[in-house]
Structure 1
Amino acid sequence: MTTPHPDRAAVISLEDLGLTYPGPPSVTALHPCRLRVEKGEFVTIVGPSGSGKSSLLNVLGLLDNPTRGVYRLNGVDTSTVNDSRRAALRGREIGFVFQAFHLLPHRTAQENVELAMVYQRTPRRVRRTKAADVLDRVGLAHRAHALPTQLSGGERQRVAIARALVAEPALLLCDEPTGNLDSDTAASILDLLGRLHGEGMTVLVITHDRHVAERGQRMLTIRDGVLTEAARAGAGAAW
């Protein structure tokens, strides 16, 4: 059993973390960086295409291993766990929200949410109750039995958010969550993320859109693999 680090306040703690893809020639996707995200924060990371956003997302989501430094997730040093425990840690501590929704088209909204609990061996009755509760939490109880093809883009993203929340993760990790939505629908999804943050959820959004990033409590930028704290001035600046 992995022993949590004593610092339990930080959901994410990166210490001189970097990622270099082997060559030849080798490519540095992430230069050594430090990042601390406290429990209950709403942090956004913004950067243009090719800036290192995907590499950072994959490391934070425990999909790729960094090549240097330390990543602690909710107090656990992720470099000390094997692949099976890493997968279990990812499933327990991180709820993913993607741009493309990734819903199964022939399953209802409720069934899509329930599927997130199948591999945790949650009893069927408990799955049904928890899925219904979390769909209500995102304002979609009335569409629980609709198929994704019967839902709007915003409703599909709400289902995806419900699926991410149902395991009660420590972190909601969002990759371009408004990228496939019109501006009004995008605003409603950002309002939902803001409300979840207000309820105590730790939210991290990775985006190319600085206007989306401005909705966070705290904003960072990434460019050429360099992660830095962002100034709030010039929110409308283009990349």
Structure 2
Amino acid sequence: MTVTHEPAAPVIEFRQVGLTYPGPPPVAALRSCDLTVRRGEFLTVVGPSGSGKSTFLNIVGLLDTPTGGRYLLDGLDTSDLKDAERTALRGRRIGFVFQSFHLLPHRSAQENVELALVHSGVRRRTRRTHAREALQRVSLGHRATAPPTRLSGGERQRVAIARALVSHPALLLCDEPTGNLDTANAASVLTLLTELHTDGMTVLVITHDAEVARRGSRTVAIRDGVLHEQPAEAGAGGPEAP
């Protein structure tokens, strides 16, 4: 008996998505892109400076609105949403991890994670429980009471990842997540992202680092505002080549 498996549902769907900044002269930062990222994928996005990576990140993260095409997040067409609706959807469905950790130094690791739920309507006691669970998930439960000033760079990034995970997002969106880390801490964070992907999390990482890009199950390059799927055997260094 042959068992067929339905493909996982898309988390990200770009349908001819583009963004042109008004001039004069107008600047096409992203040009009519098609892309599907399915649930549970680990996608890395690479490209040289000025290629359109930041624009792509801002569109995926619902920080910018495309001027052309349609963007579906977890099946919901975001094209015509109002600002308040986009903000609410972003808070529910996207977890952000940045190169800079953006942690409050006078708050504990657990309190920093809890802050992601303050405007979600979750009660304080439940916020604490969810924050502790998120820190356990990134192997930092034993550091819950420590302020960021007493954590290593890798631990601070793990707190930032826990904060991104605490709302159970459909997508973990990482912008240069190892950019401020030394080699050992970067390797630790990459291992964590790989583990999250193995557990079923959809992970998208923007990076210029070839080693980081190789961790993905797929790699997309951006050149001059155009997405190019990278062959698996090509390696991650391709988009940086002239």
Q: Give the TM-score of the pair, scaled to structure 1.
A: 0.95
Q: In the TM superposition, what is the alpha-carbon distance from 1:201 to its structure 2 partner?
A: 0.5
User: Where does 1:88-237 land on structure 2 (aligned, <5 Å)?
Assistant: 88-235=88-235, 237=237
SS of 2:106's partner is coil
Residues 195, 236 of structure 1: alpha-carbon distance in 2 compared, 3 angstrom cutoff: closer
For the 8 Å contact 1:101–1:157, the answer to whether it is kept is yes
- Look up the SS of the partner of 1:233 in the other structure: helix
1:160-199 per-residue CA deviation (whole Å, 9 max, x = no partner) reads 0000000000000000000001112111101100100111
2:161 is aligned with what amino acid? I
Counterpart CA distance in 2 for 1:102 and 1:175 is 13
Secondary structure, counterpart of 2:79 in structure 1? helix
Residues 100 and 137 from structure 1, CA distance in 2 versus in 1: closer, same or farther, beyond 3 angstroms? same
Q: Secondary structure at the match of 2:31?
A: strand
Please tell me whether the aligned partners of residues 51 and 225 of structure 1 are also in contact (alpha carbons under 8 angstroms).
yes
Deviation at 1:63, TM superposition (A): 0.3
How far is 1:220 from its partner? 0.7
**1:118 is aligned with what amino acid?**
V
Percent identity among equivalent residues?
64
Q: Per the alignment, in what secondary structure is the counterpart of residue 180 of structure 2?
A: coil
* CA distance 1:234–1:39, shift in 2 (3 Å): closer
Aligned length: 233
What's the offset of the Cα at 1:82? Answer: 1.1
Letter in 2 for 1:78: T
- Equivalent position of 1:59 in the other structure: 59
- The 2-side partners of 1:58 and 1:192 are apart by 24
Counterparts in 2 of 1:38-77, with a 5 A limit?
38-77=38-77
CA displacement at 1:8 relative to structure 2: 8.3
The one-letter code of the counterpart of 1:33 is C
Distance 1:158 1:65, change over 3 A: same
Q: Distance in 1 between matches of 2:41 and 2:65?
A: 24
Q: Which runs of 5+ in 1 are unaligned?
A: 1-6
**Partner SS, residue 139 of structure 1:** coil
Paired amino acid for 1:85: E
Deviation, 1:49, is: 1.1
Name the SS for the 2:158 alignment partner: helix
1:10-29, aligned counterparts within 5 Å? 10-29=10-29
Which residue number in structure 2 is paired with residue 3 of structure 1?
none
Query: Aligned partner of 1:139: which letter?
Result: S
Question: What letter corresponds to residue 215 of structure 2 in structure 1?
Answer: R
Task: Report Cα offsets for 1:10-35 as digits up to 9, x if no partner.
Answer: 00000000011000011110111100
Counterpart residue type for residue 66 of structure 2? P
Distance in 2 separating the partners of 1:210 and 1:47: 10
- SS of structure 2 residue aligned to 1:79: coil
Contact residue 45 and residue 219 of structure 1 kept, 8 A: yes
Q: CA deviation at 1:234?
A: 4.6
Q: C-alpha deviations, 1:16-67, integer Å up to 9, x for none? A: 0001100001111011110000011111101111111111000000000011
Code of the residue aligned with 1:196 in structure 2: it is L
SS at match of 1:164: helix
Q: Is the 8 A contact 1:219 1:230 kept in 2?
A: yes
Q: Which runs of 4+ in 1 moved over 6 A?
A: none
Partners of 2:221 and 2:230 within 8 A in 1:
yes
CA distance in 2, matches of 1:127, 1:217: 33
